[in-house]
Amino acid sequence: MTKTKSIIPSQQLNVALPLPLYVQLTAHLYSELEGRVPHGGYSRFLIDLLRGYFTAEQFDLAPFTNTQPGAFTVAGSPEAVKALRTLLSNHE
pLDDT one-digit tens code per residue, 1-29: 566 777 989 999 999 999 999 999 999 99
Residue 37 clears pLDDT 90, i.e. is over it: yes
- The answer to whether the beta carbons of residues 72 and 59 sit under 8 Å apart is no
- The answer to whether the beta carbons of residues 47 and 69 sit under 8 Å apart is no
Mean per-residue pLDDT over the chain, rounded? 92
Query: Nearest Cα to 75, choosing from 49, 55, 90, 56?
Result: 56
pLDDT one-digit tens code per residue, 63-84: 999 999 999 999 999 999 999 9
Cα distance between residue 83 and residue 68, in whole Å: 23
Residue 62 clears pLDDT 90, i.e. is over it: yes
Predicted model pTM = 0.72
pLDDT for the residue numbered 5: 75
Q: Which residues pair with 58 in a beta bridge?
A: 75
Backbone angles phi, psi at 34, to 5 degrees: -90, -20
